[in-house]
Amino acid sequence: MSATGIGAAVRRKEDLRFITGRGQYTDDVIRPRETRAVFVRSPHAHAKIKNIDTSAAKTMPGVIAVLTGAELANDKIGNLICGWMIHSKDGTPMKMAPHPALAVGKVNHQGDAVTVVIAETQVQGRDAAEKVKVDYEPLPAVTDPAKAKSGPQIHDLASKNTIYEWSLGDAKAVDAAFSSAKHVTKLDIVNNRLVPNAIEPRAALAEYDAGMDQLTLWNTTQNPHVSRLVIAAFVGMAPEHKLRVIAPDVGGGFGSKIFIYPEEVVCLWAARKVNRPVKWTADRSESFVTDAHGRDHVTHAELALDANGKILAMRVKTIANLGAYMSTFSSSVPTYLYATLLSGQYDIPQIYCEVDAVYTNTVPVDAYRGAGRPEATFVVERLVEVAARQMGIDPADLRKRNFVKSFPHQTPVIMAYDAGDYNASLKKALELADVKGFSKRKREAARHGKLRGLGYSTYIEACGIAPSQAVGSLGCGVGLWGAPKCASTRPAAWKCLRERMPTGRDTRQLFRNLFQSGLAFRSRMSPSCMAIPTKCSSEWAPTARAPVRSACRRW
């Protein structure tokens, strides 16, 4: 192991429970007197609900309750929300349509939850769900984002199904640069929709303690704190101190388990109503139509270059499909996380990006693996690649000519790059890929009837984007945080009690790695608390001690 621990193989503390079958995922948590929730979902993309008849379902064996959206509304359970405000070019706020956890009057995508059956067992719940009679009147639907504005209106408050029309950059400066360009590359790009498909289906287990008037939710969540905040403060389920959200082991999420979903709201509400724990676990078919999807952009992009292949400006117009409802962070993905990285690794003097977010009759779309950033890279790299081919310039060479070479570098889309050596990375990649030997390999492949290709892509990533000065400049003020629980056992040693962090990472391991590597970091956690495994106390770097101690004092 190196002196710092960086690059060293680390045996993970969490592995033992996973390889012996003793992990504890949400569906593995079993509470006394637990019941099962089974949802009745819309088979239609868009339909009016004319009537819901639950009478037959209520008489089925093992059924405890059959609940509808009307009852949810009667109990004053609020809508799910999108937490990131975006304003349109004209200054108007985004059009956030009501998103009840159970549909009222109308369904807006296939899989929209209409009714929930609470039963003693899963199979009894399923049998009863089949007896719920929903009378639908199908409506015309729109699923293609490019046709959303001319499609049937989905929500009353969003005319032309438009959520916002946002822009970033200087349109006039970009127009001027294009007018002086020697070459302009124009592209139409579709970045298709993806289904995240974590291997562990989403699940929620809610329990109500009537004596303490306290709700507890075990949930397949990547961020229990945001979940508690949204469900308490916005959905209005309970005051925040009366709701505890626990993220046990989580079997993958890739973003899709960040968001607050209807099912956990319904389980909490139902647990209080029937005064028994309520568990829901998605089956795979349900996952496809209820987990937030990713991407789904339709883009027209243009790149202006001078005669030497120097990029002068970029113009991008994207239609982003956010689906039938605005998921928790959906508004930020095609804006904060997308347009701000359109400069890629290149020195582009002017960029103007317009993003129109639209509703369609599809599953909601939110952050997925990279969230906006891969979409931006796809646009930039396709533009550069096609420009190189059109201008007869080697694609690697065109990239080299346009790389940012002096740092710090301020892009026209708010980001400031502090350091980098993109030439060095490309040079190494060309060597590793043996680009010089490519034509020989291509000829060899052709002799065997095979086609061999060579492609390039560069990438830049903005991690942990908020809270930060950068996105603060766009009006964003939120971030994600955690609260590991720690305790003092003696003055110089702290023990981490709360060890789990979603998606297979262990908080204790994280802190151990941080301190072994001697990295100092400032605590931005709330409650302001950091924890260090006792064993690592002798290895703390002096620079790390002060902020940790001060953080712990605050806690």
Partner 1 sequence: MPAVSMTVNGKAVTGDVEARTLLVEFLRENLRLTGTHVGCDTSQCGACVVHIDGIAAKSCTTLALQCEGAKIVTIEGLAEPNGPLHPMQEAFREHHGLQCGFCTPGMIMAALDIVRRRGNDLDEHTIREQLDGNICRCTGYHNIVKAIAAGAKAMAKGGARQAAE
CA distances from 498 to 19, 242, 268 (A): 21, 20, 23
Kindly indicate which of the ranges 18-26, 46-54, 226-234, 322-330 contains the residues binding partner 1, using the contact rule CB under 8 A: 18-26
Cα separation, 491 vs 488, in Å, equals 7
Cα separation, 258 vs 196, in Å, equals 12
Cα separation, 34 vs 31, in Å, equals 5
- Report if residue 354 touches partner 1, rule: CB under 8 A: no
- Report if residue 92 touches partner 1, rule: CB under 8 A: no
- Report if residue 6 touches partner 1, rule: CB under 8 A: no
Site map (CB under 8 A) of partner 1, residues 235-264, x = contact: --------------xxxx-x----------
Rounded least distance, CB 395 to partner 1, Å: 27
Rounded least distance, CB 104 to partner 1, Å: 30
One-letter amino acid of 354? E
**Sole binder of partner 1 in the list 4, 180, 197, 526 (CB under 8 A):** 197
Cα 46–chain centre separation: 25
> Looking only at residues 504 through 533 of this chain, which bind partner 1 when binding is defined by CB under 8 A?
504
Whether the Cβ atoms of residue 330 and residue 85 lie closer than 8 Å to each other: no
φ, ψ of residue 437 in degrees (nearest 5): -90, 5
**Sole binder of partner 1 in the list 2, 3, 7, 11 (CB under 8 A):** 11
One-letter-per-residue 3-state SS of 108-173: CCCCCEEEEEEECCHHHHHHHHCCCEEEEEECCCCCCHHHHHHCCCCCCCCHHHEEEEEEEECHHH
Whether the Cβ atoms of residue 288 and residue 282 lie closer than 8 Å to each other: no
- Number of residues forming the site for partner 1 (CB under 8 A): 35
Looking at beta carbons only, is 30 or 446 nearer to partner 1?
30
Rounded least distance, CB 15 to partner 1, Å: 5
- Report if residue 199 touches partner 1, rule: CB under 8 A: yes
Site map (CB under 8 A) of partner 1, residues 109-148, x = contact: -------------xx-------------------------
**Sole binder of partner 1 in the list 135, 137, 283, 397 (CB under 8 A):** 283
One-letter amino acid of 25? Y
CA distances from 339 to 373, 375, 376, 552 (A): 8, 9, 7, 38
Of 83, 383, 447, nearest to 229 by C-alpha is 83
Rounded least distance, CB 123 to partner 1, Å: 7
Rounded least distance, CB 397 to partner 1, Å: 32
**Sole binder of partner 1 in the list 22, 182, 443, 452 (CB under 8 A):** 22
Binding stretches for partner 1 (CB under 8 A)? 9, 11-12, 14-25, 27-28, 30, 122-123, 197-201, 249-252, 254, 281, 283-284, 503-504
